[in-house]
Amino acid sequence: QLQLVESGGGLVQPGGSLRLSCAASGFTLDYYSIGWFRQAPGKEREGVSCIGSKRDYTNYADSVKGRFTISRDNAKNTVYLQMNSLKPEDAAVYYCAVGRFASSRCARVPDPYSHWGRGTQVTVSS
């Protein structure tokens, strides 16, 4: 059974860091692009970052550029989102998703992604 499980969320003070993980089971991530999305209460789901199937393509929302880093470890079938210098506006439920894209790229829009995890809560507060 194909499954994505996010972990690593929690409560952190502004300026702090978290590393989110997205572990896949039931399939291999090798040929998939992966996206990280977030959704805060009352807001639409936002594409935060994505990474292409061959690692050499990444994309970030302007709001997280320079602070977040996406990476993948195909040997561990896991994708990571390193989040530094966290701000209160980063608080949300974070989801990972997988999809197939042409030219091994990715996009920060939800529609092309076929499978989603259930999310992990990130709270940024002092």
Half-sphere exposure of 18 (CA within 13 A, CB side): 22
Q: Quick check: 93 pLDDT over 80?
A: yes
pLDDT class for 1, splitting at 50, 70, 90?
confident
Q: Quick check: 55 pLDDT over 90?
A: no
pLDDT class for 104, splitting at 50, 70, 90?
confident
How does strand 68-73 pair with strand 78-83?
antiparallel
Q: Quick check: 33 pLDDT over 90?
A: yes
Amino acid identity of residue 104, one-letter, is S
Structure confidence at residue 54 (pLDDT): 83
Q: How far is CA 8 from the centre of its chain?
A: 11
